[in-house]
Amino acid sequence: MTQTSPLVTAEDLRHRVKELLEAHDPAHTQPLDFLRARFDAGLAWVHFPVGLGGLGLARELQSVVDAELAAMTAPDNDPRRIGIGLGMAAPTILVFGTEEQKARFLRPLWTGEEVWCQLFSEPGAGSDLASLGTRAVRDGDGWTVTGQKVWTSNAHNAQWAILVTRTDPDVPKHAGMTYFICDMTAPGVEVRPLRQITGEAEFNEVFLSDVRIPDSLRLGAIGDGWRVAQTTLMNERVAIGGRPLPREGGMIGSVAGTWRDHPELRTAGTHDRLLELWVEAEAFRLAGMRLQQQLAAGAPGPEGSAMKLTFARLQQQLSGLELGMLAEEGLRYDDWTLRRPEGVDFYGRNAGYRYLRAKGNSIEGGTSEILRNIISERVLGLPSEPRVDKDVPWKDLPR
């Protein structure tokens, strides 16, 4: 990646934003045309290389661009709808993609013209992702893929997917994986809804039946899929748990709003508990800002697992407190309509929805149990758990 230039200042970036706005006035430019122009000006991801939506600058300078454009009510790319592409696919393509892949996928990914999903988990390989069994078999200049994936957010809207497969069953499970980009409109791809506790079907199961993938859509080397997947997973945990928020943003804002709007619900006990969680949420927010600063120096590390772990715990505790404050009113959740939403919504709708949706936070993006293992072993340096299957060929593992 292009090195950070010490000559480019925040004021230089403001000038570049001004030039963009003068050439493409948001009031008279179609949103998609504006987003394309912003990408081409290097103002999509300023830390990406020149020509790929960036300027090769420090990541923290992105906030300068975002603030200037927000002040002029410029259109954004609806990050909630394309979060998987932005937070997981793009960083992986940047690190492991060929020049042709970067040129082909990053621009429409960022502008929202193409939605992405993530084909990782399987019915028998969730927390232990490396045990996955979806097979990719070499077939001339491409691959034939057969298997099943599950818990796939937004698969019903996606044009593309990041996909991990088993290409060599004769080696240990971590060594025989290969990573692909999969066309979700290809013959043999079937998406079925998974109805959740909220009533909606944000998740899906995806069946792959002899799906043909050209070798040009492989990311990384054959058999190196686990290493490529680690880049995706580290970015995923930051995308879920480390997103920058304003003070009292996110779930704490919803709960504090309920407290302020309903003085009849206030008790000494709920006041003390809300204050305790408000402090924790603020500490979490500040830790997220520090993490974003650390990311300016490179890719996410295992520390992002702590952010995602804390995010899940806080979401569940805060939504539980809100439901407890509202008592019977909070239990009146009756919106069981089967929706097929366009993105993940952690905070929307009402208290009942927030409480139910938060139950998934400790599973998606890596279970809390797995994240604790990562933190203990890779951050704290504690002894790892015994792994008796580490050197056993995948085909010999019990299933």
What are the tokens at 152?
Answer: 């796939």
Separation in Å, CA 360 to CA 116, 315, 346:
20, 10, 10
| Nearest CA-CA partner of 369 in 127, 175, 192 | 127
Other beta carbons within 10 Å of 258: 20
DSSP per position, 76-88:
---TTTSHHIIII
135-139 vs 116-119, strand pairing mode: unpaired
Other beta carbons within 10 Å of 71: 9
| Catalytic-labelled residue, pool 200, 202, 205, 236 | 236
236 is catalytic: yes
Judged by DSSP in three states, 116 sits in strand
Q: What is the rounded distance in angstroms from the CA atom of residue 159 to the CA atom of residue 147?
A: 19
Distance of CA 260 to the CA centre of its chain: 32
DSSP per position, 326-393:
HTHHHH----------SS--SS-S-HHHHHHHGGGGGTTTS-HHHHHHHIIIIIS-PPPPP-TTTTSB
Cβ-based neighbours of 200, under 8 Å, separated by 6 or more:
337, 338, 339, 340, 341
Phi, psi of 134 (to 5 degrees): -60, 120
Other beta carbons within 10 Å of 269: 9
Cβ-based neighbours of 341, under 8 Å, separated by 6 or more:
200, 202
Q: Which residues are catalytic?
A: 236
